[in-house]
Amino acid sequence: MPTPPAAPGPRQPLPRSHAAFARAKRLIPGGVNSPARAFGGVGGEPIFFARADGQWLTDIDGRRYLDYIGSWGPMILGHRHPRVVAAITEALDHGTSFGAPTEAESRLAQLIIDCVPSVEKVRLVSSGTEAAMSTVRLARGCTGRDVIVKFAGNYHGHADSLLVAAGSSAATLGVPDSPGVTAGTARDTVVLEYNDPQGLEDLFAARGSAIAAVLLEPVVGNMGLVVPTPEFLATARRLTTAHGAVLVFDEVMTGFRLSLGGAQQILGVTPDITVLGKIVGGGLPLAAYGGRADLMDHILPAGKVFQAGTLSGNPLAVAAGTATLEELRDHPPYERLERQGAFLEQGLRDAAAKAGVPVWIARKGSMLTMFFQRGPEVVPVTGWRTASQSDTAAYGGYFWGMIDRGVYLPCSQYEALFFSAAHTDADIVATVTAAAEALATLG
C-alpha cells in the first residue's frame, strides 16, 4: 500500500469535507442520512467520499483509504466489481423500474433458496428494516400471538417494535430507545441478554404461549462483533420449536458473508425465517426475508398477512444482487477471507499487546471488532453488558490514528469492520503495520 500523506485529526477537518458537512447540516438532520455515518462515536467531522474502487475509497479532498466498512457490509467483492457493474449496465438498458413482475426476480429468488438452508420461499423488499418489520408481522400473523423477543445490542432496523435496546448507531449515540416509540409498542417486545440461555429458559417457562417469535443476529455485528455460544443458539432453537414460536435469524450482515449459506450454514442451526440484506443487493437497495414455505404462504396474496412495496424487486438492484451471488457461488472467496482474517486478528492482537493496550478481539470470517477495555484485565465480550463497558475514547483515538495512516474503519466502537475479496495479502499486512503504529500512540 502506498504511504499516504499525513491526514489531519478530528480537530483539523479536511477542507472540502468540512465545507460539505457544513452545507449538509443546513439541509439534512445532523448532516447525514443515517446516524451510522456520523462521527459521534469518535469525535470530529465525517469524511465525504467521491469514489470507490476495489478495496479503496477516495475522499473529496483526494485522499485514498483502505476500506474496512465496505458500505457497512454489502461490498464483499469490493467496489465496482466488473461482473456487478456489467449486470447493472445491462439491466439499465431495459428500464429502471416496472412496478410489475420480472423473470429476473425469480432468478434471484432461486439463487437465495439454493444458497440459504432455511429458505424455501422468499419475498424481495428494499431494506433490512422493511424485511425485519415484515417478518415480525408474519410471525404474529402465523401464530396469533403478540410478544417478540429480541436481545440487547442486536439491531433489526428502525421499526418501532424492534427499536428497543438496539445496538449499532443507537448504542454509539447513547440512545438505546428512541423517542417516538410508544409504550404500547415497546410493551410487546421483551429484551434479553445475548448469550444467556437461562434467560430464555426462564422467559419461555413464564410466557411461552404468548411468544410469537425470537429474533436474533446469529453472529452479532451491531454492538461490535459478538459470537454466539452453541448452547445459546441450541436453546433458542429448542424452545421456539417446543412452544410453537418462530425463530428468526437476522442475517442482514452475515448472509452470504460468512459463507454462501450465511451464519446458519456454518453454525449448523436452521431458523424458521431468515432476514437478508446488504450483500443480497450487491450494494443497491434490496433486502429479502424467506423461510419455510408454510410460513411464507401466509403473506398476501397467497395468504392474509399484508406486505407490499412499490420498488420491491427493482430490476437494477436485482441485477446487482444476482451478479454478486453468482460470483460468490462461482468463485467462492471464503477460504482466503478466513485466512486473511486470521492474520489480521493475530496481527492486531500482537500489536495491542506490544503497545500495552488492553483489548478483546472478536472475529468471524471477514468480520472483526477490537473492543478497547477500560481496565488492565481483559473481559470477554459476550453481550451488551460487557460490550457497553468498552473504552470508546480509546477507540476514537485509534480510529483517527488509522485515518492518519490511510485506513478507514467503522466510526464507532460498536460496529464490526468488514473487508473484501479485493483486499490483498499486502493490504492486510499494511493494515497491521498501521494498527501497530496507531496503538503505540495510545499505550
What pLDDT digit, counting tens, does each position of 381-438 carry?
A: 999 999 999 999 999 999 999 999 999 999 999 999 999 999 999 999 999 999 999 9
Helix or strand (DSSP H, E) at 292: none
Give Cα 101 distance to the centre of its chain: 29
> Is 114 considered catalytic here?
no
In a domain, 4, yes or no: no
Q: Judge whether 137 and 275 are in contact, CB under 8 Å.
A: no
Q: Which domain-ending residue is among 330, 357, 390?
A: 330
Buried b / exposed e along 141-167 (16+ C-beta atoms within 10 A): bbbebebbbbbbbbbbbbbebbbbbbb
Which of 59, 65, 68, 155 does the annotation list as catalytic?
155
> Is the pTM higher than 0.75?
yes
> Is 250 considered catalytic here?
yes
Q: Which domain-ending residue is among 311, 330, 349?
A: 330
HSE toward the beta carbon, residue 340, CA cutoff 13 A: 21
Please report, rounded to a whole number, the percentage of residues in the chain having pLDDT higher than 70. 94
Inform me whether the pLDDT recorded for 169 exceeds 60: no
Residue 65, helix vs strand vs coil: strand
**What cell was used for 424?**
490483498
Model pLDDT for residues 308-336, shown as the tens digit of each residue:
999 999 999 999 999 999 999 999 999 99
Q: Judge whether 295 and 140 are in contact, CB under 8 Å.
A: no
Q: Which domain-ending residue is among 281, 307, 330?
A: 330
In a domain, 95, yes or no: yes
In a domain, 2, yes or no: no
Give yes or no: residues 263 and 354 share one domain: no
Q: Judge whether 409 and 67 are in contact, CB under 8 Å.
A: no
- What is the pLDDT averaged over residues 365-381? 95
In a domain, 10, yes or no: no
Give yes or no: residues 104 and 237 share one domain: yes
Residue 223, helix vs strand vs coil: coil
Q: Is the dihedral of CA 254, 256, 258, 264 positive or negative?
A: positive
> Is 354 considered catalytic here?
no
Give yes or no: residues 313 and 373 share one domain: no
Give yes or no: residues 19 and 53 share one domain: yes
Q: What rounded mean pLDDT belongs to the chain?
A: 93
**What cell was used for 165?**
435496546
Model pLDDT for residues 221-266, shown as the tens digit of each residue:
999 999 999 999 999 999 999 999 999 999 999 999 999 999 999 9
- Angle at which helix 315-330 crosses helix 103-115, to 10 degrees, equals 40
In a domain, 136, yes or no: yes
* pLDDT recorded at residue 166: 53
Name every residue whose Cβ is closer than 8 Å to that of residue 293 and which is 6 or more positions away in sequence: 120, 121
- What is the pLDDT averaged over residues 192-212? 96
DSSP state of 255: B
- What is the pLDDT averaged over residues 289-302? 97
CA dihedral 151, 156, 162, 166 (to 10 degrees): 60
Which of 65, 121, 196, 278 does the annotation list as catalytic?
278
Q: Output the domain CATH number for residue 424.
A: 3.90.1150.10
Give yes or no: residues 120 and 213 share one domain: yes
Task: Report strand pairing: 211-216 vs 147-151.
Answer: parallel
Give yes or no: residues 316 and 395 share one domain: no
Give yes or no: residues 149 and 122 share one domain: yes
C-alpha span between 295 and 194 (Å, rounded) = 26
* pLDDT recorded at residue 4: 37
Give yes or no: residues 324 and 185 share one domain: yes
Which of 59, 61, 196, 250 does the annotation list as catalytic?
250
Number of domains in the chain: 2
Model pLDDT for residues 48-106, shown as the tens digit of each residue:
999 999 999 999 999 999 999 999 999 999 999 999 999 999 999 999 999 999 999 99
Give yes or no: residues 54 and 184 share one domain: no
CA dihedral 309, 313, 314, 319 (to 10 degrees): 160
Domain span at 344 = 15-76+333-440
